[in-house]
Amino acid sequence: MSKFVLVTGGAGYIGSHTVVSLVQNGYTPVIVDDFRNANRIVLKGLESILGKLPLLHEIDVCDQKSLDALFKQYTFEGVIHFAAYKAVGESVSEPLKYYRNNILGLVNVLECMIKNHVNNFVFSSSCTVYGEPQGQKEVTESTPKLLPESPYGYTKWMGEQIIADTFRSAPQLRIMNLRYFNPVGAHESALIGEFPIGRPNNLLPFITQTAIGKQEQLIVFGNNYPTKDGTCVRDFIHVVDLAEAHVRALQYLWKQSAGKLDYLNVGTGKGSTVLELIQAFETKTGLKLNWKFGPRREGDVVEIYANVDSSFKKIAWKAQRTIEDAVMDAWNWEKYLNS
Ligand code: UD1
């Protein structure tokens, strides 16, 4: 029988792509999402890609009672926990909103797992736990964690700590913390993708919205960083590659004969500057983007990219898609949203 996998935040950006990968690998995702930060258009997209609607329960992960009832309804073979807020700036102005949702949601999920004897857990962590890497900009999983710059960052940093403490007391758990670098792009069908609510904070959605005319001009934050062209360097990872990493991570956990607490970087292993992403967009689409330099954004890391040796060794995963694929897929998705 196909394995049931609980996917909290499964209607969100990374969650929805992971739902597709799970189904394509023969598993049965069960989405929990209350659509506070997701759009129902994603359901239509999932239905078209998969041929039918995935199982879906509109539950808030902070609602312990409903979540526990769901754990009783299904026998989950694993849990992938995405449901969380992720806007860095908003987390500074509304920290308690972030601590309530991101921390309480995580605690509830872990409690339900332990209570209902579900052992396999994949957590959406972030390269934000490395802060601004000192010295080497290519970080491995053992690069020291630094204190984050924002409440959002703290929820990931503390999330990993809560998980590690939980593992000490419940060593039967098999846990993979996936540290995402910068997820970009959309499904190649252009039927699902990122759906920023309000003005986008992230770079590629801002680029596509500028190109389509929803935003007037892209401001590139800073031009005098100590990098090859003066703009920040990030490891942009295609969301479909990232989705596949979750499936591999689960398969890895299912193979373990004992409890496990592990961490993996999910990136391409290559850094690209902000200007290089803009250049890739212009080259692939043939469009001229309206952008200009502006002041640095507070709290921005200058340069970071992933060392991905461990991901390859442990879960046999490597990014297959390029930033050129990502900008094209994101652009097709933007056009679909506006059609
Ligand atoms: C941030 C978080 C990351 C989090 C992600 C999720 C930090 C340091 N990073 O990533 O942990 O997972 O958000 O949303 O907390 N840029 C512009 N103009 C724009 C938008 C962005 O120049 O309009 C630049 C930024 O200055 C940055 C790069 O593009 O150099 C990427 O920015 P963004 O997409 O917001 O991602 P991060 O800040 O890297």
In this structure, which residue's CA is closest to atom 25 in ligand 1?
221
- Whether the CB-CB separation of 181 and 127 falls below 8 Å is answered with yes
- Whether the CB-CB separation of 64 and 104 falls below 8 Å is answered with no
Ligand 1 centre to CA of 14 (Å) is 16
- Atom index in ligand 1 nearest the CA of residue 296 equals 26
The Cα–Cα gap between 221 and 143 comes to 27
- Of 155, 201, 218, best ligand 1 pocket probe by most atoms within 8 Å of the beta carbon: 201
Ligand 1 centre to CA of 204 (Å) is 9
Strand partners, 124: 178
Is 305 one of the annotated active-site residues of the chain?
A: no
Is the torsion defined by CA of 99, 101, 82, 123 positive or negative?
A: positive
Task: Look at residue 209 and tell me whether its pLDDT is greater than 90.
Answer: yes
Ligand 1 centre to CA of 182 (Å) is 8
Q: Which residues contact 212 (CB under 8 A, 6 or more apart)?
A: 334, 335, 338
For position 331, what pLDDT does the model report? 98
Averaged pLDDT, 169-191: 98
User: What pLDDT band is residue 198 in, cutting at 50, 70 and 90?
Assistant: confident
CA angle 42, 48, 52 (to 5 degrees): 95
- Atom index in ligand 1 nearest the CA of residue 221 equals 22
- Atom index in ligand 1 nearest the CA of residue 156 equals 11
For position 60, what pLDDT does the model report? 98
Task: Look at residue 202 and tell me whether its pLDDT is greater than 90.
Answer: yes
Averaged pLDDT, 204-223: 98
User: What pLDDT band is residue 299 in, cutting at 50, 70 and 90?
Assistant: confident
Strand partners, 306: 139
Task: Look at residue 197 and tell me whether its pLDDT is greater than 90.
Answer: no
SS3 assignment, position 166: helix
In this structure, which residue's CA is closest to atom 1 in ligand 1?
88
- Whether the CB-CB separation of 300 and 228 falls below 8 Å is answered with no
Lining ligand 1 with CB less than 6 A are 86, 88, 126, 128, 150, 153, 182, 201-203, 206, 218-221, 232, 234, 274, 297, 300-301
Cα R_g (the chain), whole angstroms: 19
In terms of average pLDDT, the best of 34-43, 106-115, 298-307 is 106-115
Domains in the chain: boundaries: 4-184+237-267
pTM, entire model = 0.97
For position 1, what pLDDT does the model report? 72
Task: Look at residue 138 and tell me whether its pLDDT is greater than 80.
Answer: yes
For position 307, what pLDDT does the model report? 98
In this structure, which residue's CA is closest to atom 6 in ligand 1?
86
- Of 202, 215, 232, 290, best ligand 1 pocket probe by most atoms within 8 Å of the beta carbon: 202
Q: Is 168 exposed, middle or buried (0-12, 13-18, 19+ CB in 10 A)?
A: exposed
Q: Name the active-site residue from 13, 27, 85, 152.
A: 152
Ligand 1 centre to CA of 299 (Å) is 9
- The proportion of the chain whose per-residue pLDDT surpasses 70, expressed as a percent, equals 100
The Cα–Cα gap between 179 and 242 comes to 10
Question: What is the average pLDDT value for the chain, to the nearest integer?
Answer: 97
Ligand 1 centre to CA of 53 (Å) is 32
Query: What does the pLDDT look like over 34-56, one tens digit per residue?
Result: 999 999 999 999 999 999 999 99
Task: Look at residue 313 and tell me whether its pLDDT is greater than 80.
Answer: yes
Q: Which of 271, 5, 239 is nearest to 136 (CA)?
A: 271
Task: Look at residue 219 and tell me whether its pLDDT is greater than 90.
Answer: yes
Ligand 1 centre to CA of 283 (Å) is 22
Is the torsion defined by CA of 134, 153, 150, 169 positive or negative?
A: negative
At the top level of CATH, the class of 4-184+237-267 is alpha beta
Residue type at 297?
A: R
